[in-house]
Structure formats: C-alpha cells, structure tokens
C-alpha cells in the first residue's frame, strides 16, 4: 500500500519529521526561510493527502480546488487568516491550527515588547554600543513607567489573558475589550470590560491581540489613535492588518501617541525603508511572537499529530471551523 503523502512548505528539523516517515511519505520545501514557490505549492496541493503550511502561504480557493486527494491542511500558527475556511469546509478538507502551545510564549514576547518600547531598551542598547554614552544625565533615555499603569487588551482570548496575568504582576490596572464579556477573566484577573472607545481612551498601553478578520482589519486607524492618550503606547502582536500603518505613522509623528511596539506588519517582511522604521519611538520585531525553540517545536509536533489523526480518520486535536 502506498504511504499517504505529506508536503510541508518549509524545511523543519529532521528530529521532528523522522518519527512520521515510517508511516508517511514526507516531502519538505528545501528552505527554512524562503517561502515555497506558488506554482510548486499548487502542484503539491494536487498530489498531497496533507499539507503543513505557514502563515505566508495563501490557502485560497485556487489552491483548495487543486486538492483532489487533500484531506487536511495543518497551519503552523494559531491565526488562520491565510486560509479560506469556508471553501475548505465545502471541499471536505479539515483545517487545523496550533492554539494553546504558543500562548505563554507569545504573551512573554508581547509583554517584553511593551516593556522594551516603554523603557526604550533597543534605543538605549544602540546608544551604548555606538559609544554615545559619555555621561550620566538626569533624563538620559528616560522612558515611561509600566507598573501601576493601565493596560487595555483588545482581544482577551488565550494570549490576551496570559498578558493580563503578567500585567497583574506589575500591579497594572487591566481593561479589556472583546465582542463578548468574559466574566471568568474578570474574576480571575480583575480585568474590567470596556467598550472599544472607552478602552483606547483610558489605557496607557493599548495591546492588540484580536485575530485578523473582516471586522478587525484596520480597526486601529486615524480617529482611534487620536482618541488615545498622547502618552499611550500601542503594541501589536496580532496581525499587521489590524492597524492602518499610514495612520499609525502619522499618529506617532504628530504626537497623538508616544510609541509603538510592533511584531507584525501589513506586509511582511517590512521593507527597511518603511517610514515606521525611521522613528525612534517604534520597536519593530520580525513576527517572533511564538519564536522560542521549545514552542516552535511543540507547534510543529502538533501539526504532524493533527495530520496523522485526520489521515487515520480520527478527530484532530485542534480543528478550525468557520
């Protein structure tokens, strides 16, 4: 009997893939960094029983319609905005993601980014390395306090709650906004539910952790930045498209807000000439929210386990539905 065929769109460590090779015929794109060519991906989708994809792979109608024997697409991310879920469901293709295993790691990064932006850590590090540090000065590299300030979390889901937990450790006042209230988080974390407008007006740190959907796309725009405190710091570790980058740039330049910590961008990788990168009050990271070695390996394992379960005609651990 021929083994089911799995195509993985990036090169993953052998130690992760080898245990599955006995049962499956596994082929990987030969680069860890370079995305798979679209034509190759379309061709592979036509041959594969399972695909393991990353967030830059567009799993759209064109691709899904090629999948004559495709049973499952396992996305190496908790977000699935790169996948047309409705078409997958119509075509009987199971979609899985990697929730939970990345929650704490992404919360660590989100809080680190908040702190790095508020306390100007990246700028201060460059200052020392360039040899500019000649004297102590009363306001040298003075940033903004974090402790006892107000954090406003838009998207109080798994990662949002884990960020709130960290914020409580810094004696922060926690506000949150979701489409639905989470009484449990309110009791457990002392978080206070606010409307979106109230949250952006009152928070010192506005943190976006809502998924990218038609509803959230561009939800942080000019008028929203104008409503924020001029001392506010905007942190985005969700998806770049949730904020309008031109408006964010203007808001920073015009002093509507004080800074931004960004792990995600409208176009990734962001061009080094992008105006946002010319601003000292911006800390920019290359989408590394879940990027610890332990967590990335856990995500890879979860993808392969999900694929195996679906190909064995069992329920996957973490299925995405519309």
Residues forming the active site: 239, 268, 287
Q: Should residue 275 be labelled a site residue for ligand NAP when binding is judged by CB under 6 A?
A: no
Q: Should residue 8 be labelled a site residue for ligand NAP when binding is judged by CB under 6 A?
A: no
Exposed e or buried b per residue across 231-269, where buried means at least 16 C-beta atoms within 10 angstroms of its C-beta: ebbbbbbbbbbbbbbebbbebbeeebbbbbbbbbbbeee
Q: Could you tell me how many residues make up the chain?
A: 322
* Cβ neighbourhood burial of 151 (10 Å; 0-12, 13-18, 19+): buried
Tell me the closest approach of the beta carbon of residue 143 to ligand NAP, in angstroms: 23
Query: 152, 155, 259, 316: which one contacts ligand NAP (CB under 6 A)?
Result: 155
Q: How far is CA 256 from CA 214, 232, 239, 252, 259, in A?
A: 26, 8, 22, 6, 9
Q: Determine phi and psi for 66, rounding to 5 degrees.
A: -80, -20
Structure-token pair, residue 221: 């725009």
Stretch that binds ligand NAP, among 137-145, 149-157, 186-194, 297-305 (CB under 6 A): 149-157
Nearer to ligand NAP among residue 48 and residue 282 (C-beta): 282
Q: Should residue 237 be labelled a site residue for ligand NAP when binding is judged by CB under 6 A?
A: yes
Tell me the closest approach of the beta carbon of residue 187 to ligand NAP, in angstroms: 16
Tell me the closest approach of the beta carbon of residue 102 to ligand NAP, in angstroms: 5
Instruction: Give the other-Cβ count within 10 Å of 203's Cβ.
Output: 27
Query: 75, 202, 238, 308: which one contacts ligand NAP (CB under 6 A)?
Result: 238
Q: Should residue 160 be labelled a site residue for ligand NAP when binding is judged by CB under 6 A?
A: yes
Nearer to ligand NAP among residue 135 and residue 180 (C-beta): 180
Tell me the closest approach of the beta carbon of residue 286 to ligand NAP, in angstroms: 10
How, if at all, do strands 233-236 and 259-262 pair?
Answer: parallel
Query: 120, 177, 194, 227: which one contacts ligand NAP (CB under 6 A)?
Result: 177
Q: Should residue 164 be labelled a site residue for ligand NAP when binding is judged by CB under 6 A?
A: no
Query: What is the enclosing helix (H) or strand (E) of 103?
Result: helix 103-118
Q: Should residue 10 be labelled a site residue for ligand NAP when binding is judged by CB under 6 A?
A: no
- Cβ neighbors of 14 (< 8 A, separation 6 or more) are none
Strand partners of residue 243: 220
Cis status of the peptide bond prior to 269, with omega within 30 of 0: yes
Vertex 292: Cα angle to 291 and 293 (nearest 5): 115
Query: 12, 52, 76, 78: which one contacts ligand NAP (CB under 6 A)?
Result: 78
Going residue by residue from 211 to 230, which x/- string records binding to ligand NAP, judged by CB under 6 A?
A: xxx-xx--------------
Nearer to ligand NAP among residue 5 and residue 111 (C-beta): 111
Q: Should residue 179 be labelled a site residue for ligand NAP when binding is judged by CB under 6 A?
A: yes
Query: 45, 101, 102, 115: which one contacts ligand NAP (CB under 6 A)?
Result: 102
Tokens 């519309």, located at residue: 322
Tell me the closest approach of the beta carbon of residue 138 to ligand NAP, in angstroms: 36
How, if at all, do strands 173-177 and 233-236 pair?
Answer: unpaired
Nearer to ligand NAP among residue 70 and residue 113 (C-beta): 113
Structure-token pair, residue 62: 């064109």
Q: Should residue 295 be labelled a site residue for ligand NAP when binding is judged by CB under 6 A?
A: no
Which residue's CB comes closest to ligand NAP?
A: 157
Contact residues for ligand NAP, defined by CB under 6 A: 78-79, 99, 102, 106, 154-160, 177-180, 209-213, 215-216, 237-239, 263-264, 287, 289-290
């Amino acid at each position: 009997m021929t083994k089911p065929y799995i195509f993985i769109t990036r090169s993953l460590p052998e130690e992760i893939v080898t245990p599955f090779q006995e049962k499956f015929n596994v082929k990987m794109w030969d680069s860890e960094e370079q995305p798979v060519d679209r034509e190759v991906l379309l061709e592979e989708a036509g041959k594969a029983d399972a695909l393991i994809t990353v967030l830059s792979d567009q799993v759209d109608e064109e691709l899904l319609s090629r999948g004559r024997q495709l049973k499952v697409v396992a996305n190496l991310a908790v977000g699935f905005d790169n996948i047309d879920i409705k078409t997958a469901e119509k075509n009987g293709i199971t979609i899985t993601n990697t929730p939970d295993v990345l929650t704490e790691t992404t919360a660590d990064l989100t809080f680190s980014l908040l702190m790095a932006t508020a306390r100007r850590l990246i700028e201060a590090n460059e200052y020392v390395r360039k040899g500019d540090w000649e004297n102590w000065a009363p306001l040298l590299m003075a940033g903004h306090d974090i402790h006892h300030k107000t954090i406003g979390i838009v998207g109080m889901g798994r990662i949002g709650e884990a960020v709130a937990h960290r914020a409580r450790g810094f004696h922060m006042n926690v506000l949150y906004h979701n489409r639905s209230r989470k009484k449990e988080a309110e009791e457990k974390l002392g978080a206070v539910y606010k409307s979106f407008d109230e949250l952006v007006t009152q928070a010192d740190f506005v943190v976006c952790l809502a998924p990218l959907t038609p509803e959230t796309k561009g939800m942080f725009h000019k008028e929203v930045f104008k409503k924020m405190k001029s001392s506010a710091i905007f942190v985005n570790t969700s998806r770049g498209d949730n904020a309008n980058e031109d408006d964010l740039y203007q808001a920073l330049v015009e002093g509507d807000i004080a800074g931004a910590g960004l792990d995600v961008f409208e176009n990734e990788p962001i061009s080094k000439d992008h105006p946002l990168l010319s601003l000292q009050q911006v800390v920019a990271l290359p989408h590394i929210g879940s990027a610890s070695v332990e967590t990335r390996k856990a995500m890879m394992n979860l993808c392969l386990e999900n694929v195996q379960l679906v190909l064995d005609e069992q329920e996957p651990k973490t299925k995405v539905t519309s």
